[in-house]
Amino acid sequence: MAKFRVGLSADFRKPDGSAAFPSFDLSPLDDEPQIDWSYVPVTERRIAASDIAGFDALILLGARFDAESFPPDGRLCLIARFGVGFDTVDVAACDDNDVALVTTPSGVRRPVAVAILTLILALAGRLMTKDRLTRQGPEGWAQVSNHMGQGLIGLTLGSIGIGNIGAEMFEITKPLSMNSIAYDPFADPDVAKRLGVELVSLEELFKRSDYLCVNCPLSDETHGIVNAAHLALMKPTAYLINTARGPIVDQAALTEALSTGQIAGAGLDVFEQEPSSADDPIFHLDNVITTPHSLCWTDQCFAGIGAADVNAVLAVLAGQVPDGIVNRSITENGRWAAKLAKRSTANA
């Protein structure tokens, strides 16, 4: 029986060939004698079908995997996305080609929630402003009383989404003694009740939140959901935080709201265009904290994400259904089941 071939997108390596993320432990793949793994080229930020032909599984970082990326040999059975987002992968094409798409919610749950907490505390404490004042010497120090921070007790923390990350955010912010509200048409009422989160309408969420966090995936329904009309509902003292996906927010509308004082500020780890242009008007505003889609990046975060992806590969190798499948209906697909059975028979 041929070995189970696993590809890692080449963006897991630096230009000099060294590992981009040393905390991503690949030793379980090395230790499995039935696995042969290698890097797969990334061309113009996408995976080409000719480069992934002959592979059974792919661990994918930032490259796109579109409908034209699937090789005709039909061998590929798993794409394990390194992270929780999957907007770079054509999910419908995965179904059409009998490929399971897996993400790693267990690996990012706590790190992203901590990133959100970081932005909440930085905005409330006027961290960036006070950093600039300190560097100005006595003249800056003399202005500190004009930049008072904000206490959080009794303020309202809102979330668009109360899934994996949203729930974790509410869990770790409990000691802040904030009121918790969320909008999520798919929310589990029992989870919301356990967390002490009041489920509200989208409009009420924007009206009541003092800190409004985006914790939903990017989809046709959520694209641009934070728009001019909804931003107009927010308090002038309110803050928007987005660590999810940039296109969920209408960035031009947000820039206008921030420029005019319609809302007090924002904390953004994601943007409509990534990498963003240095000339983007939002970067010239002093009431915004920005980070380059990496605030949650820690050694522990990448170790956890990597372990989840490797476990998905090992599960498929053993003929088992992996955790974190995005296209759950694939498990009812006889052709995909046959791929799993083939692996299970080979390992027997």
Residue 293 among the catalytic residues:
yes
SS3 320: coil
User: For residue 105, is the peptide bond before it cis, meaning its omega torsion is within 30 degrees of 0?
Assistant: no
What is the number of residues in the chain?
348
Residue 274 among the catalytic residues:
yes
Residue 44 among the catalytic residues:
no
- Distance of alpha carbon 242 from alpha carbon 279, whole angstroms: 20
Give the amino acid at 8.
L
State CA 176 to chain mean position distance. 24
- Distance of alpha carbon 47 from alpha carbon 284, whole angstroms: 35
- Distance of alpha carbon 211 from alpha carbon 246, whole angstroms: 17
Q: What angle do CA 16, 5, 318 make, to 5 degrees?
A: 130
Q: Cβ(186)–Cβ(166) under 8 Å? A: no
Of the candidates 81, 109, 230, 293, the residue annotated as catalytic is 293
Q: Which residues of 55-94 are buried (b: 16+ CB within 10 A; e: fewer)?
A: bbbbbbbbbbbeeebbbeeebbbbbbbbbbbbebbbeebb
- Distance of alpha carbon 113 from alpha carbon 243, whole angstroms: 9
CA 184 → CA 30, 91, 167, 224, 270, distances in Å?
Answer: 42, 22, 11, 16, 21
Give the amino acid at 93.
A
Of the candidates 194, 274, 328, 335, the residue annotated as catalytic is 274
10 Å CB burial of residue 41 (0-12, 13-18, 19+) is middle
Question: Dihedral angle at the C-alpha atoms of 212, 218, 219, 220, nearest 10 degrees?
Answer: 70
* Residues labelled catalytic: 245, 274, 293
